[in-house]
Each structure stands twice: as structure tokens, then as C-alpha cells.
Chain A
Amino acid sequence: MEWSRNSLGRRVPLEAGGRKLRPFAGAFADTGPRRSAGAPSRPAAARGRPDKLVGGWDELLDALELRDGAVISFHHHLRDGDALVNEVVSRLAARGLKGLTIAPTALFPVHDRLVPYIESGVIARVEGSMNGAVGAACSRGAMRELAVLRSHGGRQRAIQEGELRIDAAFVAAPCADPFGNANGLYGKSACGPLAYAVPDSLFAEKVAVVTDGLVPYPCSPWSIQGGNVDYVLEVESIGDPAKIVSGTTKLTKSPTQLLIADLTARFVEAAGIMRDGFSFQAGAGGISLAATVAIAERMRRAGIKASFAHGGATKVLVDLLEEGLVGAIVDLQSFDLEAVRSCRENARHLESSPFASYGPRAAGCVANMLDLAILGATEVDLDFNVNVNTHSDGLLLHGIGGHQDAAAGAGLCVVTAPSFRKRIPIVRERVTTVSTPGEVVDAVVTERGIAVNPRRGELAERARAAGLPLVGLPELMEAVRALTGVPEEPEFGDRPVAVVEWRDGSVLDVVRELVPR
């Protein structure tokens, strides 16, 4: 395997599975050829209604004509309630297929059941996102081929540009008609948007909609358009509704998380971006949600309204929309029942897509329209590089999500994290894995102070003037190590098990195989 050093000083391979790779050269270097895979061109339909309904799984899988080494894709809107990924993989395994690449937008604990198929070689590679036990198995070297980790935007780009060619996309649909139009807003398995399945539906060679909520044509709205859909399979259930969306999103009670959220809100206000019409993205994690609540309180006090909020939607955002404090929600996934309801009923609650929200090779995307992105981290290093994929023990446990895309697009990117978790310090000399380069990270907010990227000196000035506690990352690292001690270094083998791509397809880093202790 040929290697090179990228602009972050990371050793990265120049080739993976026959595909040439480009080393990362800067967040906005925008290297690489510009090309389009083109959507598949299907044979013209005969006169009259096409018959896409298949009688059962076997008929569907026969029709898809999948072979060893096929690439199959899934969306993660059903989260931990998803039944489809496990169903499809186990049926393909039973048919004797092997060497499959699966390309999910994310995986959840329910997908831990894929591990035996990885170990037996049914699944040879994952492209997209790996979480939990599947990621851990990859870290242990259980996967035959090199995996590829991409952000939501990066995945959309890879599909658009033909770097990720999907043989069959399986689209779990809470509501669909026999023509293949589908949405996630209605039905017993309602999940909100079906946004993450849109690129797959546009570019996959074959598209199958699997639904437990068949409705007469035309299904409205059509988040997935039937013209891109080859087959429709009706099943009893696509997942466990109780695990698809939570009944309600709970706010954190952790004093440390609340303190970080409060500092974040004060920092955002001090940064001078909290003007009428500003826009923000904050995830659904404990600190992010609490920061949203704290920022909203400051907006109320200052008499300011936001034009829109982006990203995953929760009751917290829906309440702000209905209060009029936020003008619109641009939604990629709904986390609770209130968010699903709002997405269904409120015209100012827009269902987005990875291209519209995060598309790296688009004439701008929603992320570019953001004044503020509040993001998380498992580690941050002295160059402000952020790791969201691996833990300090070297285990690959998370996907990138929209982290890179929001960081690269938003006017201000704030990373929030406790300075240590369970004794594990967050700040390191070098992150275990670079998920997002420090070039696009403006500040790190911890309970022990705010570190501002030296590239953004004016921000540090504003924060200092507002009396906020500023801290340098080296100083913070030492202060935390004085509490926790210095962790051991995990022992890695030479073999890379996954490459981490920047949103433009260049390679940021690799995840290496862990040597068992």
C-alpha cells in the first residue's frame, strides 16, 4: 500500500480497494476532479400503470439480482428501531451472498447483530458510518476490506460523483404508495423526514421501497419520488416505533453540561452574531440542546428572532418555532414525536436533503447559510482538530454525521465538550483520529474555560471584553491531566481498517487496527 502525508501531517494511503485516494490539502482546497455519476436511466415504462409491488422478500431479492460484492445502502431515520438492515443482510446471507459492501447513513445498537456477518465475510466493507459494536469490530480488524467514513455531505458527494456506486438502495418508508412515492410523516412507524435516503434514491442502480404503511397513489408529500423507485414491498413492520422516535426529548440535568451550555450561549452573544435574523444549528445531544435553550433565553431578553434553525429537530426547536423565536426549522431528521408532528403540519418546518443541507459540490448549501454551528467532540487537539469517530482507547464508535459539513459552512463553529469524561481528558497533543480539521473550528467551550482558535483573534477579544473565561488548549490540557493523570497510548497495528474522508473526498486520516491487550 502506498502512503503519503497530508497537510495535517497524517499518514494516509493513496489507494483503497482499487480506488485512488487524494490526501487532504486544506478544508477549502477543493481538490479532485469534478464529475457526475449521472442518475441511472431506466427503460421507458410501457403504457399504463407500472406494477412495482412485489409479493415478498424472495421476489424482491430475486428481482434485484444482487451478486457477491454488491453495494447495498440504507438510511438511518428509524434509528435504534430499524428492522430493515438486519432483515436484508440476514436474507442475503441466507442466499449465500458474500463480500457485500453496506453503505448506511448511520448505524445504531440494534445493528450490533451485523457483527457475525462481518466476521464471516458476508459483509466485507462498510462505507458511510460505523457506530457501536460494528465500529468496534472494524477496529479489531474483523472487516475484510478497508472501510470508508464520510460525513453526510461527503456521502452525498461520493454518490453524486460516482465514488460510491450503489447497486441497491433499500428505503424503509413509514408511508408509501404502490408507485414508490414515500414519506416518513405518516403511518405507525412515522419518523419525520426521509431526507438521508434521497441521494440513494436518485443515484442507486435499483431502488426498493419497503413500507408498513401502504397508501393509495399519490402518497403526499413525496419525499422519495416514485420515478426513481423500481420495487415496492409491503411488510408487517419496518421497525419498533418506540425506538424510532422518543416520546419526548429530555433536557440534561448534569451541572457540568449545563455550565458548558451557559458558557456557549454567553460566548455566542459576545461574538456579536446574535442579531435579528441569525441562524444556528445545534445537535440533539445534552450540551447542544441545553445551549439551544440558553441561547433562546438570551434571544428573548435581547428581543431577537432567528431566521432558521438547522439539523435534527426536537420538541425544543418546535417550541421555539411555535413561539415565533425561530422563523423556520430546516430538518434532516426528527428525534421526537413533537418534531414529527411539526414537520407534518407546519409549512415553516422544511424537510431537507443531504444535498440541500450539506452538499459539498453544490452552489452552496444550508450549512453555508448558518451563522453558528454548535458541535461535539470525543477529542480535540492543540491544533483544534476534532475527533468524533474514535475514543482515546482507539475504538471506532461513532460516525461523522454532519460535523464536517456544518463546521466548514457555518460562520462560527463552536465545539462543546466536558474537559474530561470519566477520567479521560478531551484535549490531547494530537487527536487519535482527525474527523474535522482545526482550520474550520473556531472555539472549544469546556467547563474549564473557552479556547479560541488563534485564527479568530477578534473572537478572543470579544470574549475577553465580555468577561468570559478564556483558556489556551495547552494550559487546559495540563490542568486536566493534573486531575486525571496522563492516559496510556493505545497500541495500533500498521494495518488501516478505515479511511476518514473530508467532505470533498480527500483523506483526512486513517483508523488503524487495534492490537488486543
Chain B
Amino acid sequence: MTGSAAAAGTGGKSDCLVRYEPGSGPLRVGIRSSVRALFGPAIEAAARAAAAERGVRTGELEIEDDGALDYVIASRVEAALRKAGLAAAPAPRSVPPPGAAASPRRRRRRSRLYLPANQPDLVPNSGLFGADCLILDLEDSVAPDRKVEARILARRSLVEGRGFFGASELAIRINPLSGPFGAADLEELAGAFPQAIILPKAESAADLEALDRELSRLEARSGIEVGSILVMPLVETALGVARAVEIALASPRNAALCFGAEDFARDLGVRRSATGEESLLARQSVVLAARAAGIQAHDSVFSDAEDLAGLAASCQAARRLGFAGTGLAHPRQIEVAHRAFDPDPEELAEAERIVAALEAAEAAGSGVASLGGKMIDAPVAARARELLREARPGMRS
């Protein structure tokens, strides 16, 4: 193999830019790094190990580093070699990565925080922010010519840095399967066992069925129990909204139906407004479809990280519509979202009184419970029990 020159990575913080130049001499590694005095040998060792892993022992690797961790260096080297046409993708894993496990379909998802998949600086700390769900995004936040290196970086973080994500559920937003990148995203990443896949631009049951088939094949190949990886379809076009019910019902993997307001407004040919009236029917349709399928409804990303009051108002309105959570663009938004989607103390106290009254009635052998002279209806009882279950960690199911 001779291959051609190629580069991967960026000069950004905690990242490195790796250039590979083919050659016949033994592999030479050149390093410029802001942490060279402290980590020069470690950087070289990580780069050489990643090249050897891909069977490359000749040519020149030039690394410009600003404090990248070993897994980032390895990802960038692998990406450069693969872009150079010198190395194939690693063989699919035959066992799930250490520490990986399926996520329960029903769990609290008040916040789902998007992280650009090609930007490594936030990832090692991502589990510390307390988001219910973290999403490594391969779609909108990654330029087309960066998709290859982004998915390699995401794969290695899932395999080598599982601890980064803490107690958060870990999802990947792949590119649409109908486009040029989606299938390769899955091929690269499914074996690394993300707990969920966010499917953007979902427009039909067939989209979900195709995703399900592909996931099942890749799960079986990688020793992951088939059906473990959850799916969250992202509905963000007029067609997707019109078919929300069939999408929500299409796959047993579906855990939540998400709405994307920005793309939806574009599809309608209007501008996304602060008040959101252009998407009210769509959002209600998403909630209706999700609840019809017995899954969660998730609201669109609130992108202004500075406007915490606006975020709180938006989350409260979403909760009133029936959404269980929302998308977020910055970790500082998490606390606000959680406060808004958590039942408030008064609601909880009320639910506790209702459940206590129900239990007292049961103990007394009475079929009818009442509170404050009013009979407790079955739906009220069910809602109270659900509220308490959601609010008490450890009772997630």
C-alpha cells in the first residue's frame, strides 16, 4: 500500500491535528505540542500504537497537539491513515465494550444535551454535568468532510472512555439513513454500543424499520443482545409530523419521539418565532403520537444558552403540553430544565396524599378512596403513582 497524504483533527483545545505523509522509511513521528515537556513521550507512544494497530509502519506522522488525551490522539491517527487509504476500518467488535450496558426504555429524560462529536474538549467531563441523556452529534454539528474523523472519535470515546459519560444515557445522533453518511455512522458505531440512536429527519415507519434491521444485524455481529440499542426518532419536517403516529409506533426500540423546531420551521417556509406558534400543532401532534405509542415526547433544543429565564418558560410550557424533556445546547441549561420538568413540590405532596389515601382504603378493604371528601378517580390515582415513580430515583423502570 502506498496511499496519499491526509490529515485529521483540529488545532482546537484538547485536540490535535495529525498529518500523514506516505513514505518507505520506518514511521517517523514529529510532535509539536503545548504539553510536550510533560507528555512528549506519551504522545509519541499513543500515535505509534494507533498506527501499529492499523498495520502502518512507514511514512511520517506530524502531530500538532494542544493537550489531546491518548484516545483523541489515537482517533486522529486512525482517521488520517484511513483517509490516506492506508488502513481499513478496524474489524467489528465481537463483544460489547467494557462498562457498556443497555439503557432502560423508560427512564427520566428531562434533558438531552447535544455535544459536537468532533470536538473532544467537552467529552471527558460530559458525565459530570448531570444531563439525563448525552448525545454525540454526527449530523448538524459536523461538516461533511469531517464525518469520518468524527465517527472514529465518537467510537473510541465509547469504547475507551465509557466512564466519561457518568450516569447519563449515551446516545448518538447519526445522519439520516437516506443520505450519504447514515449507514457508515451505524457501521462504525453500533458495535461500540451506544445506548440510543437519534434518527434525524424521520419521515416514515419505513425509516424506523430500516434502522431497526440494520441495528439488529450489527448488534448480533458485535455480541450485543438484539434490541438493546434504543431509538429516538427526530421529527422535524412537515411529512414527519404528519406521520408522527406511524413513526412512534414503528419500532419496539422507540423510547422517545423528539421534535426539531428549527428544521420544521424551515420546511414550512417560515422563521422560527420566539413564541413558537408556527409549531404549536406540530408539537402537540408529536406529544399525541408519542403518548399513543406509550413513549416519551421530547421538545426541540432551546439554543440560547444565556437566556435561562426564557429556557425555564419554554420548558414549563412544554411540560404543560405533555413533553417529558427537552434538547439542550449548553450544560448550564441542565439544572433549569430539570427543575421545570420535575414535578413541583406541591404536585408531589398532592400525589403523596392521594397514594396514601388509596393505600389506606385498600388496607381497610374499601374499593373506593377519597381525599378531602372527593372520590379519587382511577386516572387521578394512576397519574399520582406515575408522578411519584418519576420523582424518586431508583424507581426508574
Q: Which residues of B contact A484 (CB under 8 A)?
A: 69
Q: B67, A424: Cβ atoms under 8 Å?
A: yes
Q: B332, A488: Cβ atoms under 8 Å?
A: no
One of A45-53, A253-261, A322-330, A500-508 at the interface: A253-261
Q: A490, B124: Cβ atoms under 8 Å?
A: no
Q: A392, B125: Cβ atoms under 8 Å?
A: no
Measured in the bound complex, the distance between the Cα atoms of B129 and A488 in whole Å is: 30
Confirm or deny: A430 has a beta carbon within 8 angstroms of a beta carbon on chain B.
no
Q: B38, A392: Cβ atoms under 8 Å?
A: yes
Q: B330's closest neighbor in chain A, by CB? A: A255
Q: B66's closest neighbor in chain A, by CB? A: A422
Q: Which residues of A contact B331 (CB under 8 A)?
A: 255, 258-259
Confirm or deny: A423 has a beta carbon within 8 angstroms of a beta carbon on chain B.
yes
Distance of B131 from chain A, by nearest CB (Å): 11
Measured in the bound complex, the distance between the Cα atoms of B66 and A447 in whole Å is: 21
Bitwise interface map of A from 393 to 421 toward B, beta carbon under 8 Å scored 1, else 0: 11000000000000000000000000001
Select one of A255, A448, A488 contacting B41, CB under 8 A: A488
Distance of B370 from chain A, by nearest CB (Å): 37
Which of chain B's residues 64-87 have a Cβ closer than 8 Å to chain A?
66-70
Q: A422, B14: Cβ atoms under 8 Å?
A: yes
Q: B128, A259: Cβ atoms under 8 Å?
A: yes
Bitwise interface map of A from 416 to 440 toward B, beta carbon under 8 Å scored 1, else 0: 0000011110000000000000000
Majority secondary structure of chain A interface residues (helix, strand, loop or mixed): loop
Confirm or deny: B239 has a beta carbon within 8 angstroms of a beta carbon on chain A.
no
Number of contacting residues on B, CB 8 A?
A: 24
Q: Which residues of A contact B68 (CB under 8 A)?
A: 423
In the complex, the number of residue pairs spanning A and B with C-beta atoms less than 8 Å apart equals 58
Q: B69, A423: Cβ atoms under 8 Å?
A: yes
Confirm or deny: A95 has a beta carbon within 8 angstroms of a beta carbon on chain B.
no
Q: B70, A256: Cβ atoms under 8 Å?
A: no
Q: A423, B67: Cβ atoms under 8 Å?
A: yes
Q: Which residues of A contact B41 (CB under 8 A)?
A: 488
Select one of B35, B122, B128, B305 contacting A423, CB under 8 A: B35
Q: Which residues of B contact A517 (CB under 8 A)?
A: 37
Confirm or deny: B34 has a beta carbon within 8 angstroms of a beta carbon on chain A.
yes
Q: A489's closest neighbor in chain B, by CB? A: B38
Q: B39, A488: Cβ atoms under 8 Å?
A: yes
Bitwise interface map of B from 31 to 59 toward A, beta carbon under 8 Å scored 1, else 0: 00011011111100000000000000000
Q: Which residues of A contact B217 (CB under 8 A)?
A: none
Q: Which residues of A contact B13 (CB under 8 A)?
A: 422
Q: Which residues of A contact B129 (CB under 8 A)?
A: 255, 259
Confirm or deny: A474 has a beta carbon within 8 angstroms of a beta carbon on chain B.
no
Distance of A185 from chain B, by nearest CB (Å): 32
Bitwise interface map of B from 128 to 148 toward A, beta carbon under 8 Å scored 1, else 0: 110000000000000000000
Confirm or deny: A487 has a beta carbon within 8 angstroms of a beta carbon on chain B.
yes
Q: Which residues of A contact B38 (CB under 8 A)?
A: 392-393, 423-424, 487-488, 490
Select one of A255, A393, A447 contacting B332, CB under 8 A: A255
Measured in the bound complex, the distance between the Cα atoms of B66 and A249 in whole Å is: 26
Q: Which residues of A contact B37 (CB under 8 A)?
A: 393-394, 488, 490, 517
Q: Which residues of B contact A485 (CB under 8 A)?
A: 39, 42, 70
Distance of B122 from chain A, by nearest CB (Å): 6
Instruction: A255-B330, A447-B125, A517-B37 are known; give 9 further A-B pairs, CB within 8 A.
Output: A255-B122, A255-B129, A255-B331, A258-B331, A392-B38, A393-B37, A424-B67, A488-B41, A490-B38
List 8 A–B pairs whose Cβ atoms lie within 8 Å, in order of A's numbering: A255-B330, A256-B125, A483-B69, A483-B124, A485-B70, A487-B38, A487-B39, A490-B37
The 6 closest A-B pairs by CB, nearest first: A422-B67, A487-B38, A393-B37, A255-B331, A423-B67, A485-B42
